[in-house]
Chains A and B, each alone.
Chain A
């Protein structure tokens, strides 16, 4: 047999020790078992996977014995070159249009789709991490019946019998669904069974917004928010940059108006009123802390003030006392009438109604908020699951099909659910991976991972996004929709079903003049179809309605200690808890990884004798370690949801604690705060954090200024830059880089600290996950980190952030000291690390003033020649998760230093492309992984030698400076000063 090899080393190794299996037995690859006729894509997938396997084997220093060559090479596949397929990510909460990077048959990276109007090419950490979930060890390998492996046919038979014989309700309990085709298939399914119902359940509910809009405007929808059009943004506890509704979209919009230039020094003003320090709050120009129970009071006062200011009405009733002076706030908002935006994160219809009123009075509708393209996510109605559980306990439900929902974990009254579960005749889980609910279910009919699936999405009215498989299903799984259709009695492949649905429903809508085939191919290629917004909805409020809202307010009682439950930015609501990349992605504010914790304000902690690491017991039951969180409201405790999974794999089980049980339901609405009691337990617990020191110690690391100052002097805050530049004399000539001189610029004003870049870098560069214990020791391996500092009063600090990666210094202190010359300068000004040459003295890292070098303390990647010494707490070195490795990037062995390479492989790829096409490399063509992912486009990569490059323009910007420039390291990475808009601060 012919041997395929990719380099001399491999060939030699293959010959040297032609032992071992290329495909170990554990990898269950079943080819062509499903008979649906083999399409061209199937063929690609099959062969692609073969090559993928070979590549994985190769990248893991395994000997190659067999590889099957292409008999006929598919035209679009060139071994060693990546293909990108447009697709869509939607996990029930978060939607994003994406491109899947498929290399030799396996998806290895997700990029944002530049055509997508919502994300504009950005993605967030969860989406970045989702590719790893494709290769989750914890996935179901095939259908199960009572825990036993069965064939699909047998299982379908059993299920059909069960359903046919159901005397009670059959409920499909799903997560959010925004796919019209899926909805159609569900509709068909429901119509096949009389007593069936579809319930949408969101673990973290935003239902009150729909409810409020419904009550106020008669529109049961979530409008489109336009942060880019707002000059003043007032957010009540909504973490819209991190987790609220559509954070990536909002981040992009938000930052559009926050990149002041000398020509246009305009910038929005962002005021955040919240209890815990959220990522969004940490970016605010002004941040006001309150107890969550006081939010309504402020809203009411604000609304009343605005009513009274307007000609509409006047409110004379009694108002609850506001904890803050709302007058200044209101005046600021009024000064920017039609250009302000008020949002609220609370799941409380009254609050949302008041917000609607405020926005209405401020003229936001039609300007910063509109209903033309309302959002389709967050459809879950809180009361429906309440009813379901009630009915389950009453025995009215025969069976539930769990589709992308996991109430056994994230439903607050878990005991009631479990009790009701006993009464079910049958239970079916469509989950593709083990979770708490699927473990309980009789039948498990595992869904494809979304990267293996056909699907579509309509995140907003008239905005469609297609989802296509980037790999043949790895395991014996079946797409959930197909399962439903099968049980409906339809034997149809979902891709055909999808195509048909589009041909019949969406193609006509689009008004396209292409024939459907061309139409389909185009939008499958693009991934995005946008149909012009249909109507111009202008909501209106009757005059008495506002007073009515105010008049019937039900105020919460202020508690001594109030608990706030929030969704963490890095891990989300818990669905992705088994993703080690996400678990090790630090919280944007606290920098804690692998845990949730009780955030307490320093002063409150002091008064209660608490310190970081002390374990407290909340409501006598829930133990959790304390973290002193500057900026936390006094008298409140914030705890993240999404942790403490009991099933779901190594990375999630036992990581943090489940606080869903503390979600409270009031008037059929789930509330994410409550008054609690807590006591010290005397126990302590070590939280793992990637940053231990939180003050900049007065050093000019992050240079910031206020907009007013900036308008006067664009170099404001950065005055010392020029002074230092003048002093940068050297004892020797600077090396000139004749061709390219790569550099990177980071706009500190734009960085929101979401850490998506960290996950993207992990995925792109095969950065190992080290686990909680190693992070505690300060050994995380991230090549890029976002430093976060606090300044000012610990009770209400300002937050500063700075992404730091290898600075690629021209005078690199690290290079000088490596005894074996394993780190040197490339001819293009990149500080390169030669892994093969590295002997691991760590001298370079000691000498690095930026401490961006990362050492392989253990054999994290199973790339070592010594057996049985791998430190891999999450089995990422098993063959399956290894499929995610980027074959362009070497996997580093134990004892080797590594660091940011400026994504050299990307630079090289684009350079080669340009060379092959015989053209000059264009500016902006090369994007580093961190740059590409960034939802706010805070990073710019380019050529310093090219005077016209965006990067060079940044470097010439008076805001530009280098980190620690006074020590003459001459970094290629530069920063633009952070600008805040504190003008008119109350």
Chain B
């Protein structure tokens, strides 16, 4: 998935046509401790991240932090405006009218959290308008489950090819950039 793959970097790819085949294959690959460059699937396969050894995403934490920032800044801002900067008597309500501040605080919290998570996701995944990510196989988005193994050294290259073929992968090939 890397955008700018180094000159001499070699990768081995092969695809499966069923998620269960893929999962079995990944289990084998992990057993053999072959470095996985990436796995491409047409849809999310539950549990694949654990099997492939991916770390948990920190997007929720990001959302939580920004949500907190949102709520504090919204509530703080409204409090400042109504008690310090420009207090107005409105409908006989107190200047610091907490219940009335809640809805906006809530909305800003959600907005901040959502924006932070979405942009976090896009930035971390290098996705965005005009992003030039390499498409290894045009059928990934259809029904190909593609595994991409690192083949930095020739031994790795070989064993990668072997494992892929052995697990029933199709169109096993070496990819250079």
Contacts and interface: CB of A to CB of B under 8 A. Distances in A.
A810 B93 CA distance: 9
Contact of A824 (B89, B94, B97): B89
A816 B92 CA distance: 8
Contacts of A815: 89-92
A733 interface: yes
Contacts of B88: 821, 824-825
Contacts of A733: 94
A809 B93 CA distance: 12
Interface string B85-103: 0001111111001000000
B91 A816 contact: yes
Contact residue range for chain A?
A: 20 to 34
A970 interface: yes
Interface string A805-835: 0000111111111100100110100000000
A735 interface: yes
A732 interface: yes
A499 B10 CA distance: 118
B90 A816 contact: yes
A813 B91 contact: yes
A734 interface: yes
Contacts of A817: 91
Contacts of A824: 88-90
Nearest to A816: B91
Contacts of A825: 88-92
B106 to A, nearest CB: 17
Interface residues of B, number: 8
A813 B97 CA distance: 15
A821 B90 contact: yes
Nearest to A821: B88
Q: Which of B88, B90, B94 has the most CB of A within 10 A?
A: B90
A735 B94 CA distance: 8
Nearest to A733: B94
A825 B91 CA distance: 7
Interface string A964-979: 0000001000000000
Contact of A734 (B90, B92, B97): B92
Contacts of B92: 730, 732, 734-735, 809-812, 815, 825, 970
A812 B91 contact: yes
A821 B82 CA distance: 11
B91 A735 contact: no
A817 B91 CA distance: 9
A810 B89 CA distance: 9
Nearest to A823: B90
Contacts of B97: 732
A730 B89 CA distance: 16
Q: Which of A809, A816, A817 has the most CB of B within 10 A?
A: A816
A662 to B, nearest CB: 55
A809 B91 CA distance: 8
A884 to B, nearest CB: 34
Contacts of A818: 90
Interface string A281-308: 0000000000000000000000000000
Nearest to B82: A821
Contacts of B89: 735, 815, 824-825, 827
Nearest to B86: A821
A814 B97 CA distance: 17
A812 B91 CA distance: 4
Interface in B82-139: 88-94, 97
Interface string B45-84: 0000000000000000000000000000000000000000
A622 B157 CA distance: 109
Contacts of B94: 732-733
Contacts of A811: 91-92
A168 to B, nearest CB: 75
A818 B88 CA distance: 13
A816 B89 CA distance: 9
A508 B90 CA distance: 64
A821 B95 CA distance: 13
Contacts of A813: 91
A887 B74 CA distance: 42
A970 B94 CA distance: 15
Interface string A133-168: 000000000000000000000000000000000000
Contacts of A730: 92
B60 to A, nearest CB: 34
A273 B128 CA distance: 87
Contacts of A812: 91-92
A817 B90 CA distance: 9
Q: Which of B88, B89, B97 has the most CB of A within 10 A?
A: B89
Interface in A715-761: 730, 732-735
A462 B92 CA distance: 56
A809 B92 CA distance: 9
A926 to B, nearest CB: 21
Contacts of A734: 92
Nearest to A825: B89
A750 to B, nearest CB: 30
A852 to B, nearest CB: 16
Contacts of A735: 89, 92
A646 B89 CA distance: 53
A817 to B, nearest CB: 8
Nearest to A970: B92
A732 B93 contact: yes
Q: Which of B89, B91, B93, B94 has the most CB of A within 10 A?
A: B91
A814 B92 CA distance: 11
A825 B88 CA distance: 7
Interface in A60-77: none
Contacts of A816: 90-91, 93
Interface string B141-165: 0000000000000000000000000
Interface in A612-637: none
A818 B90 CA distance: 9
A732 B97 CA distance: 9
B92 to A, nearest CB: 4
Nearest to B89: A825
Nearest to A734: B92
Contacts of B93: 732, 816
B20 to A, nearest CB: 57
A732 to B, nearest CB: 5
A611 to B, nearest CB: 43
Contacts of A809: 92
A827 B88 CA distance: 9
Nearest to B88: A824
Interface in B12-41: none
B50 to A, nearest CB: 49
A814 B90 CA distance: 9
B87 to A, nearest CB: 10
A816 B99 CA distance: 13
A811 B92 CA distance: 4
A693 B133 CA distance: 71
Nearest to A730: B92
A821 B90 CA distance: 8
A186 to B, nearest CB: 62
A810 B94 CA distance: 12
Contacts of B91: 811-817, 825
A115 to B, nearest CB: 41
Nearest to B94: A732
A812 B88 CA distance: 13
A966 B89 CA distance: 22
Contacts of B90: 815-816, 818, 821, 824-825
Interface of B: 88-94, 97
Given A735-B89, A811-B91, A815-B91, 9 more contacts: A732-B93, A733-B94, A734-B92, A809-B92, A815-B92, A816-B91, A816-B93, A824-B88, A825-B88
Nearest 8 A/B pairs, CB to CB: A816-B91, A811-B92, A825-B89, A815-B91, A824-B88, A815-B90, A732-B94, A812-B91
11 contacts: A732-B93, A732-B94, A735-B92, A810-B92, A811-B91, A815-B89, A821-B90, A824-B90, A825-B88, A825-B89, A825-B90
